[in-house]
Amino acid sequence: MKAQDIMVTNVICVDMDERLPNVRQIMEKHGFHHLPVTEKGKLVGIISDRDLLRFISPFIDSASEQPRDLDTLNHAAHQIMTRQPISVKADTLIEEIVTWFKRVDISCLPVIDDKEQVIGIISWRDLVNHATFKT
């Protein structure tokens, strides 16, 4: 079995200059935990929901909100993304994907084509869901 057999193909990506309020809105609206970041169509990074939680002030929209809290929203995706994310090709074997998840502290892998454009994404949830349906 290969990446192309279980990857999610309707991937939404953001440009590296996208502002964090929009990144957060996209992730919340679609229930995403990861958002690939592109520059001129090529994968350059990835933002996780944990990255947003670490970077955006928890006091936004609360009674304790201060101007410095709002300043955390004025940043671009490239300022908080993980650069040069590990990615795989569509023909990568599932066993290799599982190895990446076990070896490195990541929970998703973007799937790219030969031009480094995102064509899919695989998360550990996709692997679990696939394994559940197979049994």
pLDDT in tens, 109-123: 999 999 999 999 999
Q: Which of 12, 8, 34, 10 is nearest to 90 (CA)?
A: 8
Q: Where do the structural domains in the chain lie, given as residue ranges?
A: 3-134
Q: Model pTM?
A: 0.86
The distance of Cα 127 from the centroid of its chain, to the nearest Å, equals: 16
Q: What is the pLDDT of residues 20-43, one digit of tens each?
A: 999 999 999 999 999 999 999 999
Residue 129's pLDDT is what? 82
Q: What stretches in the chain show pLDDT beneath 70?
A: 57-58, 65, 69-70, 132-135
User: Please, how many CA atoms are within 13 Å of residue 15, restricted to the half-sphere of its CB?
Assistant: 4
Q: What CATH code is assigned to 3-134?
A: 3.10.580.10
